[in-house]
Amino acid sequence: MQTTELVRFKKLGKHITVLTAWDAISSSIVEAAGADVVLVGDSLGMVVLGHSTTLPVTLDQMLHHTKAVCRGFCKPLSEQPLVVCDLPFLSYQCGEDKAVEAAGTLLKNSCASAVKLEGAEPETLLVIKRLIRMGIPVMGHLGLTPQSVHQIGYKSQARDKESQEKIFKDSKLLQESGCFAIVLEHIPGEVASTLKKYLTIPVIGIGAGSDCDGQVRVTADILGLSIEQPPFAKPLFPGRELCIDALKEWIDTTNPNPENPTTKTSESKSDY
């Protein structure tokens, strides 16, 4: 799958599905489920590394996890999902050269074919244009941009007229700069829906209503595994509780302590 394919999907009205993965197990699952795109998002800093924001994530960590994601795919190369990797905080904010080196390192050493970065400030647009000139496809990200948490928090964005005008302007700038798609996070559905019609590149929503060209979800959130669920990512089932109950049962059935009233008979232990 190539990035240009996603623009074709939009033209054909074919819905685009994007799921995050952070290791070989999660990538094999989302590939088998049929995701078009696998995003190695820097949300892995919160989901699997236990940080309270995405800011501490390093380029080395992104590469380490992206390599594991690539190793997890089971389908032939031509049938594997497109892999997009987030550029972590400070890997692209300090200038174009540093950004090319960071993005190039990810693409050179893993199966990722594109990077995602946040915002549309003038410096960011220069970085995007340079990356694209160097042959590195870029996905944009507007609305709730978690790397700016200390400025905007985790709350819903583009709620007033002024910030809606800004997101329109910024989306257009990202498209003109050459982004192949844009993630819109936690903004009103009507704004995302209008942007979907206004832009020729795909609009991928998360907490941005259902009228987008595609949807992206943090896989741990929709599997109900995250301890803190974002309000806009409803779990499909109570994954954490199901896992805990199953493991509790296993612990009980394997407990060799005869004092333990829940210990099962030796028959149930033959599963070792």
**Shortest distance, position 51 Cβ to ligand KIV, whole Å:** 12
Q: Does 147 bind ligand KIV (CB under 6 A)?
A: no
Q: How far apart are CA 179 and CA 171, in angstroms?
A: 10
> Would you give the binding string for ligand KIV spanning residues 58-97, x where CB under 6 A is met?
----------------------------x-----------
Query: Residues 84, 208, 218, 222: which binds ligand KIV (CB under 6 A)?
Result: 218
When the beta carbons of 230 and 255 are compared against ligand KIV, the nearer one is 230
Q: Is residue 41 near ligand KIV by the rule CB under 6 A?
A: yes
CB 141, CB 185: distance < 8 Å: yes
Size of the site for ligand KIV (CB under 6 A): 12
Q: Which of 5, 31, 118, 185 is catalytic?
A: 185
In the bound state with ligand KIV, the residue whose beta carbon lies nearer, of 43 and 157, is: 43
Over the chain, what HEC string results?
CCHHHHHHHHHHCCCEEEEECCCHHHHHHHHHHCCCEEEECCCHHHHCCCCCCCCCCCHHHHHHHHHHHHHHCCCCHHHCCEEEEECCCCCCCCCHHHHHHHHHHHHHHCCCCEEECCCCCHHHHHHHHHHHHCCCCEEEEEECCHHHHHHHCCCCCCCCHHHHHHHHHHHHHHHHHCCCEEEEECCCHHHHHHHHHHCCCCEEEECCCCCCCEEEECHHHHCCCCCCCCCCCCCCCCHHHHHHHHHHHHHHHHCCCCCCCCCCCHHHHHHC
- Helix axis angle for 189-198 and 161-177, nearest 10°, is 30
In this chain, which of 3, 43, 66, 226 binds ligand KIV, going by CB under 6 A? Answer: 43
- Residues 239/222, Cβ–Cβ less than 8 Å: no
Which range, of 38-46, 88-96, 172-180, 235-243, touches ligand KIV by CB under 6 A? 38-46
Q: What is the residue whose two structure tokens read 């805990």? A: 244
Note if 185 is an active site residue. Answer: yes
Out of 59, 139, 183, 212, the only residue in the binding site for ligand KIV (CB under 6 A) is 183
Instruction: Considering only the stretches 39-47, 60-68, 76-84, 104-112, report the one whose residues sit in contact with ligand KIV under the rule CB under 6 A.
Output: 39-47
Which range, of 23-31, 36-44, 95-103, 152-160, touches ligand KIV by CB under 6 A?
36-44
The answer to whether 221 contacts ligand KIV (rule: CB under 6 A) is no
CB of 270 to ligand KIV, least distance (A): 42
Choose one: 21-29, 41-49, 237-245, 262-270; the region binding ligand KIV (CB under 6 A): 41-49
Among 9, 19, 30, 42, which residue interacts with ligand KIV (rule: CB under 6 A)?
A: 42
Give the residue numbers annotated as catalytic, written as ranges.
185
Q: Which residues bind ligand KIV (CB under 6 A)?
A: 20, 39, 41-43, 86, 141, 183, 185, 206, 216, 218
